[in-house]
Every structure is written in structure tokens, then in C-alpha cells.
Amino acid sequence: MESWKKITYVVAIFMFLVETRPLEPYLTAYLTGPNGKISLSEAANSMESLRSYSSLIATLIMLIISDYLLYKTVVIFLTLCLCISYILMMGSPSLTKLKVSMVFYGARYCVTNVASCYLFAHIKDRKHFQKSASIAAVGLELGKFFGDVSGQIIVSSSGGIYTALPYCNAFAMLLATIWAFLFPPINKRNSLEIYLPNEKTTLLKTSEQITSESHKIKHSRVDKENKIIIVLKQIWLDFKTSFFKTVILKKSLWYIFGMAAYFQVLNNMNVLYSYVVNKFGNNDVLSNGFAESMVTLCGALGAYLIGKVQLDWNYYGDIFTSFCSTLMGVFMISCYFYEHIQLIYLSYILYGLVSEAILVITLSEIANHLKSQCYSLVIGFNLLGSLVMSAIMTFFFVQFNFLEITVPGRFLFIGGLYSILGIVFLVVYFFDDQKAKKYMPTDIYY
């Protein structure tokens, strides 16, 4: 087996384990039930706010140190945080324990991203990025599927009791942590030694410039207290050089806004389920585990199929992004109008199919245009940006909410954001296409 396939399957297995969380479809129900004993308002407001803000801290850790620690250590740390989060939810936790668990819970948003950075850093030939990202995403979605089906079976067989679910999650996170310890190490050429100078290195004097192509720091003596400055300047230089590329800039902008909306969907879908079934006269029965399992199964299908597509993404990438964004917008807007949960399930399933396909292409294309020691820097920045945007949305949806947006109204806003992204990238595609035609030679001379 080729080396890139071996490491891809190793990461895919980790993705499967870390996403096997039977509690997720019933998290709101668990928190508001006999175990958590908090109100729906507290679950949708204070707990959601803690999750959003703690995820920013976890992502900031990823952004700063992942490239230097070669990803593996960070993956292990974040997976342990998730394990602690579910341990704190076991039994009949107090309100304080639940709040602390939400702090550790924030690691879930970035642990898979660090694992993806590890995967890209381990693969030498970039032509395999799309396929490897696809396989890893399939593992991730199948893990969600297994967790959702397990959750549905456990809840159905226990008569609607959720007590065992946190124990299942904690056990899965323990297995994921053990598997992460088995990750093969990455060559130290990507480590902090690239940035940290020895006693014979320093920055060039102000009369000289560091070129973006070589990224070399010329040698001379420096004091130890200047090492941090050198590291920070090199990081800033790598950051500017990366985002100077148009492809990375465009994909990153979509990632920031698209993933912010994606996080809002994940955070609010359970709340929407409870909101709809609790409406007066509604006799729908919750089948969250089944619905979530279908979402992830279709997501795995979308990730697998897109990995097989061979296109010139530099040319077709914008129109593909526009098409997928528009579809996702339609699916989310429709959730605002539906009165029955079955129709919401259907829209969410279709959303999962499309969203996973566009995420695979976006992530692999960003990585394909980055230099090796910048994966976590750029992808982590994009994730941080998306979480900040998501936190802002949470602030206006939940804490401030001066527009008095209802739970279904949140999905109207989310769908509108996706639709705007679709229009923007459609305009970008036609602009770039016309620009290319303008400079295309029309005459042939013999």
C-alpha cells in the first residue's frame, strides 16, 4: 500500500473514533431532562454561549502551537479535553459541572482540523490531497453515523432514557486518544526549529528585506530575548504570503462565513427539533438519532463522491462553491417554514450531503496551495474566524437578540447567508471568466 494511503487510513480511523458520540443528537434533551435538569432556555442560551467561547480558546491554541508541535501532541490534548467533558456530564451533574463540561466541549470544533493538518503535513505528493481529505471525511461521517445509530438504539431500548449516552461518548474519546498516541511522527523539518534561531541567526537589518520566496533568515548573532520576535515575524510573513494567493483568500473567506453558518446549524438544529415538537397541537415524535444518522451517511456519500471528481478546481471551483452554497441556503431557509419535523429532517439530510462535498474541496484546495509549515496557521486562522463569526451570531441570536429572532428565524438568517455566498461566488466566477477571455489571444499568426 502506498504511504499516503496508509497515513490517510490511520487518520480516517481516528476521525471515526472521535466522531462516535451517541449523545450528540440528544444533547439538548439530556441537558433538559432528568439528568441535566436545566431549562430549554438555559440549554439554548448559557450552555451554547459557553460552547462557542470555549471553542475560540481551543482554536487559538491550535493556531499558535500546532505547526510547531507537529500536530500529534495537540490532537491528543484536544481529544482528552473531549473525554473530560463527557465524564463531567455523567450521572446527575450539577449546574457547575455542566458549565465546566461545556468549556472542555469546545475542543470538538478543532480536533478534526488539527488531524487534517497532520494528514496534509504527512503526505508529500499534493496531488493526493483531495482523495486523502475525502477518505478522512468519509471516516468522520461514518463515525457520526455509527454514533447516531447507537444513540437511537440506546434511547429506544431504554424507553427514552439518556443516562448511558455520556458514558458511551467518554469511552469513544478514550479509544480515540489511545489511537492518537499511535500516530507516526512527522519529520522534524516542520518543527519549531524552522523558526527558532540558534546563536548564529538573526533577522536582516532594516536595510534588507526578507523575500517571500525564500523565507530565510540570514545568520548573525542574536540575543535570546529576540527569539520570540523572530518567530512572530516569521509567522506574520508566512501569514501574509499565504493570503496573498487569490485561491487561498477566496476559499478562506468562504470557509470563515460558510463554517460559521455550519456551526450555527449544528448548534441550533437540536433546539429547533425541540421547538417544533413542543408547539401546541404538534404530535410529531422525535427521531433525532435516525435523522442525524441519515445526515452523516449522506455526508459520507458526498465526501466519497467528490473525492472521485477530477476537475480543474482553479477554474470550476468558484461556480461549484456558488452552486453548493445556494443549495445549502435553500435547504436551511425551508426549515423556517416547515411545521412538521419530518420535513426538517429531510432538508437537514440534503444539507449534509452538499455541505460535506464542498468542505472537502475547500479544505483540500486551501492545503494544496500552502507550504507545509503553514497548514495549521492558515486553516486554524480560518477556523478561528468562523468561530468568531459564529460567536457573533450567537450573541445576536441569543444574548442580545434585539430583533427578537425566533429559533426558526435563525435558520432563515443562516439560509440567507449561504445564499449571499452563492451570489458572491457566482459573480466572482463570471468576473474571472470574462477577465480570462479578455486576455486570451484571438489571432493566430503563422
CA dist 122 → 6, 27, 113, 116, 308 (Å): 10, 35, 14, 10, 21
pLDDT grade for 140, boundaries at 50, 70 and 90: very high
Say which residue the cell 481551543 belongs to: 58
Q: What domains sit in the chain, N to C, each tagged with a CATH number?
A: 1-185 (1.20.1250.20), 225-445 (1.20.1250.20)
The answer, yes or no, to whether residue 229 has pLDDT greater than 70, is yes
The average pLDDT across 259-288 equals: 81
pLDDT grade for 222, boundaries at 50, 70 and 90: very low
d(CA 397, CA 144): 27
354 within 8 A of 226, measured Cβ to Cβ: no
The pLDDT value given to residue 78? 92
Give the orientation angle of helix 111-122 with respect to helix 375-394, to 10 degrees. 160
Structure letter (DSSP) for residue 189: G
The pLDDT value given to residue 402? 66
Across the chain, what does the average pLDDT equal? Answer: 82
Q: Which of the two residues, 352 and 270, has the higher pLDDT score?
A: 352
Question: Which pTM was predicted?
Answer: 0.80
The answer, yes or no, to whether residue 174 has pLDDT greater than 90, is yes
Q: Which of 24-28, 261-265, 374-378 has the highest mean pLDDT?
A: 261-265
The answer, yes or no, to whether residue 444 has pLDDT greater than 50, is no
The pLDDT value given to residue 188? 61
The pLDDT value given to residue 316? 87
Residue 420: what are its φ and ψ, rounded to 5°? Answer: -65, -40
DSSP string covering 98-136, please? HHHHHHHHGGGGTHHHHHHHHHHHH-S-GGGHHHHHHHH
pLDDT tens track for 354-413? 999 999 999 999 988 887 778 888 888 998 898 888 878 877 776 676 677 788 888 998
The answer, yes or no, to whether residue 216 has pLDDT greater than 80, is no
241 within 8 A of 212, measured Cβ to Cβ: yes
| Three-state secondary-structure class, residue 167 | helix
The pLDDT value given to residue 438? 65
Q: What's the N-to-C CA distance of the chain in angstroms?
A: 50
The answer, yes or no, to whether residue 241 has pLDDT greater than 70, is yes
22 within 8 A of 29, measured Cβ to Cβ: no
The answer, yes or no, to whether residue 27 has pLDDT greater than 60, is yes
Task: Output the nine-digit C-alpha cell for 291.
Answer: 435523522
The answer, yes or no, to whether residue 135 has pLDDT greater than 90, is yes
d(CA 184, CA 84): 25
The pLDDT value given to residue 327? 95
Counted residue by residue, the chain has a size of 446
Where do the H-state alpha helices sit in 278-401? 288-308, 313-337, 341-368, 375-394
**Minimal CA–CA distance to 292: which of 340, 341, 363, 359?**
341
The answer, yes or no, to whether residue 193 has pLDDT greater than 50, is no
Task: Output the nine-digit C-alpha cell for 191.
Answer: 518543527
